[in-house]
Structure 1
Amino acid sequence: MDARFLGIPELAEAPSVAVVVDVMRAFTVAAWAFAQGAEKIVLAGSPDEALALKARHPRWLALKDGPPAPGFDAVNSPGLLRSVDLEGRTVVQKTTAGTVGALAVKEASLVLCAGFVVAEATARLLRTRARDGVTFVVTGEDGQADEDLACAQYIALRAGGAVTDATGFLDRAGRSRAAYELEHGVRQGVHPDDIALCLELDRFPFAMVATPEDSLMVLRPHAVPPPADGASL
């Protein structure tokens, strides 16, 4: 499989297939939101847009990264979100990197959002849907975030059929700048379990597909069953 790894500023045009990677923490949080029963996630372009959407839809739950803020119901932390009942709810998510990356490739024919927690399901979906190559959007640090690049490289190898040990990729993510900032209180709105939850390989059996719906970019879970014969990719 032909794979490119680009930061958000390097996206000169919409790719055919895009995998937007934000390990710490946007798309780990998104996966946990679906695991907690969320029906869909609306990806907002700004905090003001997120709050305006919630104002129009009072039952929607808005979350952002950073510390708690007026009008927002939750912060971008998997450790904090995992105890929230989201059954049937719509979540509006705005983050510094992940949602920005997804909106930057909204014209692509297929947009997947990913982290380690949905790596295998994402790779399986790519294997069936990505015939002309994939652009992996490394959202953090203008494309230099090693936790996102490591995850993207791992998914690319798995999608290409390689039998790949994830240990080295997870170790890189665990030593990343983002992990350091989460551990040492540089980032706010953090639960002590956030790093470990972001590094749980294949915690969930679904991929996450973002599509335009009524002028919004909406993320939904997409079940990806294992191969019928039980074989790996």
Structure 2
Amino acid sequence: MNPRFLGIPELVEVPSVAVVVDVMRAFTVAAWAFAQGAEKIVLAESLDEALALKARHQDWVALKDGPPAPGFDTVNSPGLLRSMDLGGRTVVQKTTAGTAGALAVKEASLVLCASFVVAEATARLLRTHKSDSVTFVVTGEDGRADEDLACAQYIARRVTESGTDAAEFVRRAGESRAAVELTEGVRQGVHPDDVALCLELDRFSFAMVAKVENSLMVLRPRAMPSPADETSS
């Protein structure tokens, strides 16, 4: 597999396979939403679109970056989301980097959204897909966010080297600018456990696949069996 690591501004052509990485916090939050029972996540292009979707579908759950705001049910925090019952619900998510990255590659044949909590499942899906070229979209800081780059590099390594140790990659993410800002309260809409939850490796056994459905970019979980499960079946 030939991996490329690009920031959103560097996406000048449509990739065949794209893995959009946002560790802190969009795609950690998305994974927690599925773990809490969400059926699907609609990735909104703007706050106005998120609110419009929420207005048309009163039972949908809308979330955004930053502090709480009228019309939104919660914020982009895994620590806050993990206590919500989202059984069968649709979540509308709008964030600064993660959702923008996914929308930037919506024409790709396969779009995965990833973070450390679904790293192994994402690598397993990529191994199954057997693509020669994979573009990893490093969403934070125009491609310079070390937590996203570290996670992308780890997943890329796991596709071809199953024995890759995560420790160094997770350490880099934990020392990133985003981790420091979340820990020190620079960013709003934060739970004290957010950084630890974002650094939790392989918490969930599903990958997250995004595709256009009825003109909306929709994210859904895809369960990936472990190697042990595949061997025993």
Name the TM-score class by shorter chain: over 0.9
Q: Is the 8 A contact 2:15 2:105 kept in 1?
A: yes
The correspondence of residues 1-233 of structure 1 with structure 2, limited to 5 A, is: 1-227=1-227, 228-229=230-231
Code of the aligned partner of 1:103: L
Cα contact 2:17–2:131 (8 A) shared by 1: no
Length-normalised TM-score, structure 2: 0.97
CA distance, structure 1, for counterparts of residue 82 and residue 131 of structure 2: 35
* Alpha carbons 1:17, 1:130 under 8 Å: kept: no
Distance 2:218 2:38 in 1: 12
Give the whole-Å Cα distance in 2 for the aligned partners of 1:229 and 1:214. 38
Quote the Cα distance in structure 1 between the aligned partners of 2:194 and 2:183. Answer: 9
> Per the alignment, in what secondary structure is the counterpart of residue 6 of structure 2?
strand
Which deviations, in whole Å up to 9, do the C-alpha atoms of 1:123-151 show, x marking residues without a partner? 00000114221000000000000000000
For residues 14-64 of structure 1, give each alpha carbon's deviation from its aligned partner in whole angstroms, at most 9, with x where no partner exists: 100000000000000000000000000000000000000011111101000
Whether contact under 8 Å (1:67, 1:189) holds in the other structure is: yes
Structure 1: runs of 5 or more not aligned: none
Q: Which amino acid in 1 is paired with 2:92?
A: V
Contact 1:6 1:135 in 2 (8 A): yes
- The DSSP-based 3-state class of the residue aligned with 2:135 is strand
Sequence identity percentage: 81
For residue 31 of structure 2, give the secondary structure of its aligned residue in structure 1. helix
Q: Which moved more, 1:122-131 or 1:189-198?
A: 122-131
Root mean square deviation, CA, Å: 0.8
**How many aligned positions are there?**
230
Distance in 2, Cα, partners of 1:131 & 1:7: 20
Amino acid at match of 2:173: A
The CA deviation at 1:160 is 1.5
**Which 10-residue stretch deviates more, 124-133 or 210-219?**
124-133
Q: Distance in 2 between matches of 1:118 and 1:225?
A: 13
